[in-house]
Structure 1
């Protein structure tokens, strides 16, 4: 039985993965953006290892989430599921960052650095990450005119690069990125072609499976199959520059080894 922390697990893919893992007998630590959102978890809450609360757009909350997780104990796996899609404008978090960057990139980076190292890390990306190249000159959208689709693509490129960075730097951790496809969730909409069960299956499998096919690191997955990611994500120079910039933006250093 494994213990798995899943960000953004009150609904959508995060909730579906939590349900699937709990049904398999694993202990799932849930995450809600606010105390008011915990009610949406329903009966799954009684079968969980607990619920941590915090808004990923707020750096102080992200630090609190890490503290809450660490107080419960070391996780066997963490699924970085939470994210936002398009935003009508750049927005600004309390720290002054673009909301898409803060939630989709800075939060998983900070949680990775601050939570006790698990055995497995899984980062939710998107096939759209292939349109995110060339982001490092203006990560925080302070110079460019806002482009919500581009910002989303860039953030999903960042998490693939983060997953690959960890695979390279932390050889004892299995770190992978997953494209769940266009899934019928609140974010994906009713017209999306992929059902929830299919959408959650790969990340849940990577988090707990002892299948030799799942015991790999530094790979990009779509529906249980490895795919080729954007070349930039797999470039160690891009990875290192990204990590250096994220460290400066957050004030949190990612451990080297």
Structure 2
């Protein structure tokens, strides 16, 4: 059985993935933003092995979460589930002076990937909204443009695909993939979301632990346990490397080859 760390797993798809994996006999470590949410997560998922806490919108907490995870021992898989949605009406700045959406959705998965002991598998949650977003890496901090929450979210999800593919290329011994769960009625998706919630969490769990040949691949993009084409521009290696360089500069954390 596998040992899996899931970020943003107090509710929504992260919690659903955790419960599915636990029911299948896997060991799961949860992540909560603060102690109060950790208590809620423990009550909802009492069979989780442990819970680490930290607000993944700021770099110091990202580092601390990575340290907490490393103290717990090696993981077979990490699911980067934590995320901020597309409804932020203005540019909310973190303690590090970065847009909240970018810090949580992109920089946190980068820092945790770089600092947590390398697992066998990495799973990055993207979105169908990444198609056509053409992330503006020249204005990643949204200082040159008028804020658009939906566009900021779509760009962050495009960057998550860039991260997954960059890691797959740099770390050939790790299975690194991205997926879209669909537009489902979670807190982020809203009650009117039309896609099937029961299917939304299964792909990340499957990619994290399955021995199916279709899941034991790297550098791919999935939807409902089937491979799907990502936006073609996400396969631009120069673009991937540019994002890695930006994340390294902003966080002070290097992704070792």
TM-score range, shorter chain: over 0.9
2:72 corresponds to: 72
> Shift of the alpha carbon at 1:45?
4.0
Cα distance in 2 for partners of 1:18, 1:194 equals 20
Q: Do structure 1's residue 139 and structure 2's residue 140 form an aligned pair? A: yes
Q: Is the Cα–Cα contact under 8 Å of residues 132 and 155 in structure 1 kept in the other structure?
A: no
Shift of 1:196: 3.0
Query: What does 1:62-211 align with in structure 2 at a 5 Å threshold?
Result: 62-86=62-86, 87-211=88-212
Query: How far has the Cα of 1:39 moved from its partner?
Result: 2.3
CA distance in structure 1 between the partners assigned to 2:135 and 2:61 by the alignment: 29
Task: Say which SS state the counterpart of residue 222 (structure 2) adopts.
Answer: strand
Q: 1:124 to 1:100 in 2, by over 3 A?
A: same
Maintained 8 Å contact 2:133/2:155: yes
1:40 aligns with 40
Structure 1 distance, partners of 2:49, 2:56, is 20
**Count of residue pairs brought into register by the alignment:** 256
TM-score, with length taken from structure 2: 0.97
Aligned partners of 2:145 and 2:192: how far apart in 1? Answer: 32
Residue 197 of structure 1, CA deviation = 2.4
Q: Normalized against structure 1, the TM-score is what? A: 0.97
Indicate if the aligned counterparts of 2:42 and 2:48 stay in contact, CA closer than 8 A: no
Distance 1:176 1:236 in 2: 15
CA distance in 2, matches of 1:196, 1:63: 32
- RMSD value, Cα: 1.0
Q: Report the Cα offset of residue 203 of structure 1.
A: 0.5
Q: Which runs of 5+ in 2 are unaligned?
A: none
Q: Does 1:219 align with 2:220?
A: yes
